[in-house]
């Protein structure tokens, strides 16, 4: 968790009305359960589960809303949020261990444009593909091309946008932060050891365009929704004209706890590339209440405390919330934390787990360098000239908030105006220059 005194910048880009950051400091379970993909059965990999205590292997929206508690800090939100767990395999011992999850998770509700409709009763969706093992949009080690070029490059299919809807953010609070959704693959361990002393933040954006009507689900749990043509915002397809709240998950994993040990990190599905990262969501909001919140909670701070409709729960209340229903018999004694020789579900680990309909060999791409703090230009020597420093251009205003970058709160909750980092300007129109991020603590709010 991060101190409640930390807030996102109130300086939003054009077209973004407001957002709130749903803090879920605790998880209600860690188990091979997925009521969307495997209803009434066990999943083939472990998920970290947050939200309503009414979650179980076949839970519905009404089950969630009837839950006794939630691990998220708004009483009216009984939604379920879940995502793969992360593991480390020690190649010296062959043993696998769960990586520590720092501060639970955050679910961002980003409100883009007008006429946003609440998630309808019974609504559920997925983002990402657990079987994807290949990036098909060029060189994954290079930043994304400017968003204005995606259309001309033919990179606006739903498959393309889904690949850019995941991010792996290297955290080092001594450096300027990386932009959200900047790197689309899981960096290798040597890179993490050298650069990411505060862990790795996993990010996933959900589709926010909806078919409408009674389309609360679809056979593959994805076709009833679609990404806008810029992933976070942009135009919705004509087939999906209705705008939903734009949902994004952030989860920090303490990869640095394994610094100096030989091995590699992987998702609970055995994926070492990161391309198979995914997230699941079932709404547990009362539809009318959420619609009112969309219209009312328009403070640009992102703080749930600034919405007059929300009943805020303490961290101690939500941290004690757990699943009410017992685990299926097959999972009663399953070791999901380790040490163990195989992933739960007897899944293949490491590169052997990198299989799927998207191909790929599970090889690590070369890491995108971490943006370093700006340095003073080196003066040109008289006898041995060096290259002239390249003058940075004044950034244009980005068309979306850099939601993952946190700001240190001042007495007036003000934050400095955003400015770009070196590599961010190549991938985005601009990135936010922020006050240094604070190290996560165990105080009252998550980040």
Residue carrying the six token digits 């007008």: 114
Collapse the DSSP code of 432 into the 3-class scheme (helix H, G, I; strand E, B; otherwise coil) and give the result: coil
Collapse the DSSP code of 65 into the 3-class scheme (helix H, G, I; strand E, B; otherwise coil) and give the result: helix
Residue 353 CA to residue 67 CA, distance in Å, equals: 35
Q: Say what the pLDDT of residue 364 is.
A: 38
Q: Say what the pLDDT of residue 379 is.
A: 44
Q: Say what the pLDDT of residue 114 is.
A: 85
Query: In this structure, are residues 405 and 180 in contact, taking their beta carbons and an 8 Å threshold?
Result: yes
Mean pLDDT by 10 residues, the chain (447 residues): 35 58 96 96 96 97 97 98 98 97 97 93 97 94 94 95 98 95 96 97 98 96 97 95 98 97 97 98 98 94 96 94 95 95 75 42 42 44 42 36 35 27 33 37 35
Strands (E), 26-181: 29-31, 47-51, 80-84, 86-90, 96-98, 101-112, 124-128, 166-170
Q: What is the dihedral of CA 298, 304, 305, 311, to 10 degrees?
A: 110
Residue 339 CA to residue 230 CA, distance in Å, equals: 41
Residue 351 CA to residue 363 CA, distance in Å, equals: 7
Query: In this structure, are residues 307 and 20 in contact, taking their beta carbons and an 8 Å threshold?
Result: yes
Task: Read off φ and ψ for residue 245, nearest 5 degrees.
Answer: -55, 135
Q: Say what the pLDDT of residue 111 is.
A: 95
Query: In this structure, are residues 243 and 115 in contact, taking their beta carbons and an 8 Å threshold?
Result: yes
Task: Read off φ and ψ for residue 330, nearest 5 degrees.
Answer: -65, -20
Domain positions in the chain: 19-394
């Amino acid at each position: 968790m991060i101190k409640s005194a930390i807030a996102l910048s109130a300086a939003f880009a054009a077209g973004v009305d407001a957002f709130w950051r749903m803090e879920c400091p605790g998880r209600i379970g860690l188990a091979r359960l997925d009521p969307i993909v495997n209803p009434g059965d066990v999943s083939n990999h472990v998920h970290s589960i947050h939200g309503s205590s009414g979650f179980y292997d076949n839970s519905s929206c009404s089950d969630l809303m009837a839950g006794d508690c939630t691990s998220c800090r708004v009483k009216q939100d009984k939604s379920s949020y879940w995502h793969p767990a992360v593991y480390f395999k020690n190649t010296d011992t062959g043993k696998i261990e769960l990586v520590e999850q720092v501060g639970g998770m955050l679910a961002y509700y980003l409100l883009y444009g007008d006429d946003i409709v609440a998630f309808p009763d019974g609504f559920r969706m997925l983002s990402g593909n657990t079987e994807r093992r290949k990036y098909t949009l060029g060189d994954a080690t290079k930043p994304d091309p400017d968003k204005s070029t995606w259309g001309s490059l033919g990179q606006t299919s739903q498959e393309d946008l889904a690949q850019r809807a995941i991010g792996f953010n290297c955290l080092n609070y001594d450096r300027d932060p990386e932009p959200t959704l900047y790197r689309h693959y899981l960096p290798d361990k040597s890179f993490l050891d050298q650069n990411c002393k505060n862990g790795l933040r996993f990010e996933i954006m959900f589709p926010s365009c909806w078919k409408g009507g009674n389309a609360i689900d679809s056979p593959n749990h994805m076709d009833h929704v679609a990404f806008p043509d810029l992933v976070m915002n942009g135009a919705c397809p004509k087939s999906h004209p209705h705008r939903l709240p734009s949902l994004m998950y952030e989860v920090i994993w303490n990869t640095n706890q394994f610094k100096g040990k030989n091995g590699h990190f992987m998702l609970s599905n055995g994926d070492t590339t990161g391309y198979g990262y995914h997230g699941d969501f079932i709404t547990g909001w009362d539809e009318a209440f959420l619609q009112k919140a969309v219209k009312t909670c328009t403070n640009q701070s992102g703080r749930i405390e600034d919405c007059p409709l929300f009943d805020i729960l303490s961290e101690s209340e939500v941290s004690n919330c757990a699943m009410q229903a017992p685990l299926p018999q097959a999972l009663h004694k399953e070791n999901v934390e380790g040490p163990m020789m195989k992933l739960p579900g007897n899944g293949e680990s490491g590169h052997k787990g990198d299989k799927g309909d998207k191909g790929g060999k599970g090889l690590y791409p070369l890491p995108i360098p971490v943006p370093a703090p700006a340095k003073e230009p080196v003066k040109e020597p008289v006898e041995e000239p060096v290259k002239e420093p390249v003058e940075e251009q004044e950034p244009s205003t980005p068309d979306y908030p850099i939601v993952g970058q946190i700001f240190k709160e001042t007495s007036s909750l003000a934050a400095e105006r955003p400015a770009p980092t070196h590599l961010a300007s190549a991938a985005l129109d601009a990135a936010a220059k922020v006050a240094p991020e604070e190290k996560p603590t165990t105080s009252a709010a998550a980040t």
